[in-house]
Amino acid sequence: MKEIKTNSPWGLVLILVGAGVVSAFQVGKVPPLLPDIKTELMISLFYAGWILSIFNITGLILGTFTGAIADTIGHRRLLIFGMAIQALASFLGSFASSFYILLGTRLFEGMGFLAVVVSAPTLIFQVVRKKDIKVALSMWSCYLPAGASLIMFLIPFFSKFADWRGAWQINSLLLTFYLILLINTTGSITPFKKENKLSIKNFIHDMKTTLTSAGPVLLSLIFTMYALQWLAVMGFLPTLLIEKYEFTKSSASILTAIMVGANIVGNLAGGRLLKYGIKRWLLIAFASFVMGCCSIAIYSDTNFLINYTGCILFSIIGGLIPASVLGGAPIYAPSERLISTTTGMLIQGGQSGQVFGPIILAWIVSTTGTWSSGSWFLGCIAGLCIFFSLGLAKLKTE
């Protein structure tokens, strides 16, 4: 029987959220340093893009499967493994002498990252009081914008005394320290009672049960639509600022980091609004509508102030969606034991959007020759997100 808690251990919650933040450093460390990597390893822009996208492809292929592993072998074990493999891969990547070696280490970083982001939220769910779950999971939903934006701000400082290889080694050191912290602080977390033994049959059963449940499917589709819009806008923002307004690379990077960090405001607000009784589907529908409207402002042929204000509002209001989706995993999971499998499925949906969003937007803009055409594409995606949220409204209420 699950232990009754009198107070939620917020210190432990912050430590678990911090595991996601430090892991997200591995996502944010690449964009500012990609030009240096491209020059040193003598690779084309196409190959350099693979160093970015390999993270997303890992989640696209292994998301639900990794969640099923966590639900079977234990979430704390997978969390610790994920931090360890990231630390080792980042360290080995700093010595990469070719594109393929670096790509291989990035693949393992992505696997470790995935292990952390599917296991940590379940551990948070286990340690907090029921009334605090929505707020705690909204805090968790900040891990990616918090980690990515923080490392983007720090990279210029690191660059004063270290090259990209040094940045990889610093990340490895940070991951190692955090691994030790997790080992020493998470040992008291009581795991869920195991219902299945470790077997391929149980893996397949867990994934089939989750993949055929309406709640996880709708949340995954919503997260796919959100992530597709988010990365398409964020990924091309530096290019837009440099090409259209002639910002320097450094200034464009900082402005992009501010936009990414603004997403945290929406993440935290989402948790609060859910706690106050606002329906999850309504938050998603509202945020999707605003994101669709903002895409018009972002790509309008007006001025920098309107374009960038659209980006900031897009990021803040859009942050309501990951808070609503990731926080919904414990609510819509087929059973308490399948929370990580459900989370893995949601991550898989998000990674799908991140893989295809930038590619489709780039193709549309290249074909039409104007950025404004991107707003119609993103508006249609926002409309699909609203449609899926209405489907979510028909399911059980909280």
Degrees to nearest 5, angle at CA 79 with 75 and 80:
120
pLDDT digits (tens, 9 = 90+) for 19-36: 999 999 988 888 777 778
pTM: 0.76
Helices (H), the chain: 10-28, 30-41, 45-73, 75-93, 99-127, 133-140, 143-158, 164-185, 200-211, 214-245, 249-275, 280-298, 304-318, 320-327, 329-332, 339-368, 373-393
pLDDT digits (tens, 9 = 90+) for 269-302: 887 888 788 899 999 999 999 999 998 888 887 7
pLDDT, position 6: 63
Please say whether the beta carbons of 348 and 110 come within 8 A.
no
> At residue 79, what is the residue type?
L
Tokens representing 396? 């059980």
* CA pair distance 7, 266, nearest whole angstrom: 26
pLDDT, position 194: 52
Q: State yes or no: pLDDT of 249 exceeds 90.
A: no
**SS3 (DSSP) at 234:** helix
* CA pair distance 349, 331, nearest whole angstrom: 18
Please say whether the beta carbons of 350 and 59 come within 8 A.
yes
The more confident residue out of 384 and 10 is 384
The more confident residue out of 398 and 102 is 102
The more confident residue out of 47 and 65 is 47
What is the residue whose two structure tokens read 């074909």? 367
pLDDT, position 207: 73
pLDDT digits (tens, 9 = 90+) for 148-195: 888 888 887 777 788 889 999 999 999 999 999 999 988 777 665 554
What is the residue whose two structure tokens read 């029921």? 130
In the chain, where the domains are located = 10-393
pLDDT, position 3: 44
Matching CATH number, 10-393, of 1.20.1250.20, 3.30.70.360, 1.10.10.10, 2.60.40.650: 1.20.1250.20
Per DSSP, the residues of 110-128 read HHHHHHHHHHHHHHHHHHS
Average pLDDT of the chain to the nearest whole number: 82
Per DSSP, the residues of 185-223 read HSTTPPPPPP-S-S-HHHHHHHHHHHHT-HHHHHHHHHH
pLDDT digits (tens, 9 = 90+) for 305-317: 999 999 999 999 9
Position 16 confidence tier, pLDDT thresholds 50, 70, 90: very high
Q: Which of 27, 133, 123 is nearest to 71 (CA)?
A: 123
* Best mean pLDDT range from 43-47, 149-153, 215-219, 299-303: 215-219
Q: State yes or no: pLDDT of 92 exceeds 90.
A: yes
pLDDT, position 1: 38
* CA pair distance 166, 368, nearest whole angstrom: 41
